[in-house]
Amino acid sequence: MKDIKITNDEMIEVIEFAESEGKKLYKKGENRFLGKKEIDERTVYVEYSTKDGDIFEVHATWALRFSIMED
């Protein structure tokens, strides 16, 4: 298995997408969210929380790369 690099800009892109589109999961009781976005044939996930409304703290990131091939 190979590590997939995630840049700071990609993390920001995922959080901005999750916040603007409202497409995020909420971890009840912990003020944590999980956002995801497809970027360059990968799905990038960011677990984050908010502070003072416009400051974000990233807790974890990961990405999956996959391809679907037809016969």
What does the pLDDT look like over 13-31, one tens digit per residue? Answer: 999 999 999 989 998 888 8
Rounded CA-CA distance 5/16 in Å is 19
- 32-60: pLDDT as tens digits: 999 999 998 899 999 999 988 789 999 99
Rounded CA-CA distance 22/16 in Å is 10
Torsion-angle region of residue 52: left (phi > 0), alpha (psi -120 to 50) or beta?
A: left
Rounded CA-CA distance 40/18 in Å is 17
**Looking at the whole model, is its pTM more than 0.95?**
no
